[in-house]
């Protein structure tokens, strides 16, 4: 799974493309099952962000091992909150300037397959993370998710008041 941790905050970084097809292929493979390399958090508040993090890792091939504020998974007990928490993933991926994937919040018309959507309440509380797998009926997003397992599920079939669209802009890797 993950390689030996590096000191990402001291390495020289370069930006590479995020492999969107690989992220979507991973979602297709594991949308209705669980990869045994990862703990299933369904009974502990939900598995949606854990699943999307796995998809992001499949498309980026790199984790960020900075303690507390990075984004990594070694085991259920050795991971960052950003790997499994909706708000924590958002904060990491929007502000990440070190190793790993990084994103920008965009309007819905700018999302692509492999991007991340987060659903929220009117109060601004975001509670669900899913991965864009494609588009149907024009530009209507189709998504993959865990907890309520789905692949190519129309976004319009979810009930939510707010939507965050996170476009994965690239992946930072060590420049070795």
Model confidence band, residue 139 (pLDDT cutoffs 50, 70, 90): confident
| pLDDT band with cut points at 50, 70 and 90 for residue 73 | very high
* Number of domains composing the chain: 1
**Residue 8 located in a structural domain:** no
> Six-digit token pair at 1?
């799974």
Domain boundaries, position 130: 13-30+40-174
pLDDT surpassing 70 at residue 9:
no
What value, to the nearest 5°, has the Cα angle with vertex 175 and ends 174 and 176?
100
pTM: 0.92
**Residue 58 located in a structural domain:** yes
Instruction: Specify the CATH number for the domain of residue 72.
Output: 3.90.1720
Give a yes or no: residue 4 inside a domain. no
């Amino acid at each position: 799974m993950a390689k030996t941790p590096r000191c990402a905050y001291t390495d020289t970084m370069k930006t590479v493309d995020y492999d969107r097809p690989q992220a979507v292929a991973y979602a297709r493979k594991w949308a209705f099952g669980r990869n045994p390399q990862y703990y299933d958090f369904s009974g502990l508040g939900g598995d949606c962000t854990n699943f999307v993090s796995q998809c992001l890792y499949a498309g980026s091939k790199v984790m960020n091992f900075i303690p507390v504020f990075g984004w990594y998974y070694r085991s259920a007990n050795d991971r960052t909150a950003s790997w499994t928490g909706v708000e924590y993933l958002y904060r990491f991926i929007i502000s990440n300037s070190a190793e790993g994937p990084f994103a920008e919040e965009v309007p819905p018309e700018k999302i692509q397959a492999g991007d991340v959507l987060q659903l929220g309440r009117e109060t601004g509380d975001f509670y669900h993370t899913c991965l864009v797998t494609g588009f149907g009926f024009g530009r209507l997003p189709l998504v993959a998710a865990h907890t309520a397992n789905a692949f190519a599920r129309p976004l319009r079939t979810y009930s939510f008041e707010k939507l965050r669209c996170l476009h994965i802009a690239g992946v930072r890797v060590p420049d070795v």
